[in-house]
Amino acid sequence: MVNPDDADAAEAVFHTASPDATRALAETLGRLCVGGEVILLAGDLGAGKTCFVQGLARGLDIPAGKRVASPTFTLHGEYEGRLVLNHLDLYRLDDPAQLHGLGIDDFLADPGAVTAVEWPELLAETAGRERLDLRLEHVSESERRIGARASGRRHARLLREWAGGGAFSGPA
Ligand code: ADP
Ligand code: MG
């Protein structure tokens, strides 16, 4: 659960019982974003990472017509709302050097953007300290457990606010 004593780190666990609930949970996170957030989404195929990013887009006021999908042939999708959402899916990435060709350093440093990364394992070192790591896991066909770990002061505060909103957090 959220540890209120450590300013530079925080943890929380959420549960959702449907894709819509995952989107709604992510939307509440999107509403709290102010730019510069880095959100890494780990989890198996079908865990709900893309579904989560769709909710995030809603929370950033990205028009519903610009539907967030897994970028199949590109590694990067960009959506404009209240803030820019950079959506990366690194499933097909085999060489971390490609990341720099994608302009990853610019996304991560952009104070007017939120960057959400599926399959972030190859990003570990590039992502830096200020970030929110999410791990989505299947509990059953329609339930997911979403473990969240924030590092860095800003992301820790973000996670505390998000988890403090309440409806989805529960015992691990
Ligand atoms: P990923 O991007 O992790 O591969 P997707 O978001 O593309 O996963 O797909 C998640 C799949 O799981 C969708 O078919 C969605 O309908 C289904 N699903 C069932 N329950 C949930 C839930 N609680 N949260 C998110 N997705 C769910
Ligand atoms: Mg996906």
pLDDT in tens, 72-83: 667 888 999 999
Over residues 55-65, the mean pLDDT reads: 95
The two tokens of residue 65 are 């017509």
Res 3: pLDDT: 53
pLDDT at residue 167 tops 90: no
Q: Position 67: which residue type?
A: R
C-alpha 151 to ligand 2 mean position (Å): 23
Contact (Cβ atoms closer than 8 angstroms) between residue 81 and residue 87: no
> Where does the chain show beta strands of DSSP type E?
9-16, 38-42, 76-80, 84-89, 113-118, 131-138, 144-151
User: In the chain, helix, strand, coil percent, each to 5?
Assistant: 30, 25, 45
Res 140: pLDDT: 97
The two tokens of residue 28 are 């509440």
**C-alpha of 87 from chain center:** 9
Closest C-alpha among 56, 71, 40, 60 to residue 135: 40
C-alpha 72 to ligand 2 mean position (Å): 9
Q: Which atom of ligand 1 is nearest to the CA of 144?
A: 23
The pLDDT tens digits for 123-135 are 877 778 899 999 9
49 lines ligand 1 (CB under 6 A): yes
Over residues 147-155, the mean pLDDT reads: 96
Closest C-alpha among 95, 92, 96, 78 to residue 45: 92
